[in-house]
Every structure is written in structure tokens, then in C-alpha cells.
């Protein structure tokens, strides 16, 4: 009886068996990498806006407080986007003829809001409240990143659930004194740059965080329904 298969079939069989195992591994790593990459998460990708508003200039160089524009951050779930009127408090006096600011003036004249491109957005099935985070000592820059260095704003963190739970499981690693929440320059304490709370010196985050978690009565809320209500 003639051979059904050519001797090379042995090699083909071996290569395809081991090959498919390796291909499967490579594919799953690649998919995992893709899911974490800026291509999918938009992290560190500056977004184009109708007016090139610079947080670096306003919040960093000029030192305007976050709450000047994001007025509802302390009382509401939503931090608030400023109406054009807020821009015009200054820009009716300075840079009044700037070409760059024409869309702002146009918006003011026509009473139509500027259509900003949203940078940080959570899906609707997640309940998130800014005010409670502010009151429990989570700084703006903890989540929104070095906003004082962003000429055009970008998303500093993935906002994936795994990122939320990192802090919800161990809030002591991230919490800061309440009076530093709106500071865009605040850094976590080190030996060389300690942080003082009520006269006490802290040289590392864990010591500070552990005390603050106690003082602010911060709970580690990790039940599903904390956010998925």
C-alpha cells in the first residue's frame, strides 16, 4: 500500500502543534498589550479643542484655583465645565482682540456653548461623585495628573475599573491633607520634602496616608454596588 502522507507531514504536524500553542500565547499577550496601550485608552494623548485652552498657562503659570472654573466640584458629582461667561470675566479685559479667542467671543455673543471635546468620561453604568473624593482628601492631580504642565489637556489615567480599585483597596497610598487637595504643585512626602499636618512631620506617604485615613474616616469601599448602583 502506498504511503498516504509524505514524510514531511511529521514536521508539519509538530510545527503546527507547537506553533499554535505559541501563536495563542503571543496573541493573548498582544491583545492584553493593546488593551493597555494609549491607542485604546487615550492616556497621554492631548485632545484637540475648539479653542486651544491651556491648563499649563491658567492653572500653572497664573495659579488660578481649579474651583474658579470647575465650580461644582465640592458639592456635586460633576466638577462642572465653565460657561463662556467665566472666560469672559477676564477675556473681556485682556486679549480682547486675539484671533485665538474669537470662538469664545462668538459663543458669548450668540449665547451658544463652546463644544469642548470631553477628555475624561466615565460610562453611564458607573456612579462617580467628585465631591466625596475632594472631601476625603483625594487631590485633583491624583487622578487628573500634572494638569499644570498640560498645554492641551490629556487623560492622565486609564479610568479603567482596575485603576479605580487600586485606590479603593489601599486609599492610604494616595490620600493627601485636605488643604492640599486643590494644589497643583503638591507632591507626596519624602525625606527631603516632608509634609506637615497639624504640626506633625511626615516623611513618607504610608505614615501620612494611614493617619489621614483614620482622621478622615476613609472606608475602603470595594463592593460592586459602591459604583454600579
Partner 1 sequence: MSDSQTPRIIEPGHSFASVTDSISAIVLTQKTSRGWWLGFAISFALLMLFQLALTYLLVVGVGIWGINVPIGWGFAITNFVWWIGIGHAGTLISAILLLLRQTWRTSINRFAEAMTLFAVACAGMFPLLHMGRPWLFYWLLPYPNTMGTWPQFRSPLVWDVFAVSTYATVSLMFWYVGLLPDLATLRDRARDRARQVFYGVMAMGWRGSAVHWHRYETASLLLAGLATPLVVSVHTVVSFDFAVGIIPGWHSTIFPPYFVAGAIYSGFAMVMTLAIPLRKFYKLEDFVTLRHLDNMAKVMLATGMIVAYGYMMETFMAFYSGDLYDRYMIMNRMTGPYAVVYWVLIACNIVLPQMMWSRRVRRNVGLLFVISLIVNTGMWLERFVIVVTSLHRDFLPSSWGMYYPTFWDWATFVGTIGLFLTLFYLFIRFLPMIAIFEMRGLVPESAEKGKT
Residues that bind partner 1 (CB under 8 A): 1, 4-5, 10, 13, 32, 35-36, 158, 160-166
Q: Which is nearer to partner 1, 214 or 228 (CB)?
A: 228
Q: Which residue, among 88, 144, 77, has the nearest Cα to 113 in the 3D structure?
A: 88
Minimum distance from residue 171 beta carbon to partner 1 (Å): 14
Q: Which is nearer to partner 1, 59 or 164 (CB)?
A: 164
Minimum distance from residue 158 beta carbon to partner 1 (Å): 7
Scored b (16 or more CB within 10 A) or e, 50-88 reads eeebbbbebbbeeeeebeebbbebeeeeebeeeebeebb
Minimum distance from residue 181 beta carbon to partner 1 (Å): 24
C-alpha cell at 73: 466640584
In angstroms, the Cα distances linking 65 to 55, 58, 140, 148, 182 are: 11, 9, 11, 11, 7
Q: Which is nearer to partner 1, 45 or 115 (CB)?
A: 45
Q: Which residues pair with 73 in a beta bridge?
A: none
Q: Which is nearer to partner 1, 162 or 199 (CB)?
A: 162
Minimum distance from residue 126 beta carbon to partner 1 (Å): 11
Instruction: List all residues 6 or more positions away from 229 whose beta carbon is below 8 Å from its beta carbon.
Output: 127
Longest dimension (CA), the chain: 98
Q: Which residues pair with 201 in a beta bridge?
A: 196
Distance CA 114, CA 106 (A): 9
Minimum distance from residue 6 beta carbon to partner 1 (Å): 12
C-alpha cell at 170: 489601599
Q: Which is nearer to partner 1, 160 or 207 (CB)?
A: 160
Amino acid at each position: 500500500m502506498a504511503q498516504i502522507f509524505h514524510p514531511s507531514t511529521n514536521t508539519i504536524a509538530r510545527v503546527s502543534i507547537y506553533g499554535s500553542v505559541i501563536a495563542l500565547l503571543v496573541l493573548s499577550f498582544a491583545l492584553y498589550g493593546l488593551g493597555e496601550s494609549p491607542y485604546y485608552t487615550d492616556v497621554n494623548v492631548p485632545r484637540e479643542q475648539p479653542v486651544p485652552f491651556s491648563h499649563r498657562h491658567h492653572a500653572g503659570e497664573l495659579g488660578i484655583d481649579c474651583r474658579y472654573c470647575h465650580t461644582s466640584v465640592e458639592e456635586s458629582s460633576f466638577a462642572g465645565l465653565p460657561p463662556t461667561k467665566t472666560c469672559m470675566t477676564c477675556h473681556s479685559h485682556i486679549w480682547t482682540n486675539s484671533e485665538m479667542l474669537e470662538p469664545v467671543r462668538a459663543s458669548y455673543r450668540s449665547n451658544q456653548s463652546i463644544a469642548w471635546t470631553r477628555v475624561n468620561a466615565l460610562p453611564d453604568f458607573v456612579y462617580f461623585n467628585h465631591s466625596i473624593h475632594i472631601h476625603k482628601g483625594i487631590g485633583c492631580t491624583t487622578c487628573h495628573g500634572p494638569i499644570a504642565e498640560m498645554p492641551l489637556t490629556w487623560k492622565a489615567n486609564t479610568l479603567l475599573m482596575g485603576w479605580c480599585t487600586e485606590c479603593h483597596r489601599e486609599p492610604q497610598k494616595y490620600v493627601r491633607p485636605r488643604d492640599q487637595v486643590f494644589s497643583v504643585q503638591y507632591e507626596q512626602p519624602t525625606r527631603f520634602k516632608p509634609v506637615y499636618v497639624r504640626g506633625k512631620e511626615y516623611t513618607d506617604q504610608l505614615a501620612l496616608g494611614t493617619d489621614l485615613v483614620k482622621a478622615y474616616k476613609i472606608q475602603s469601599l470595594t463592593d460592586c454596588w459602591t459604583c454600579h448602583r
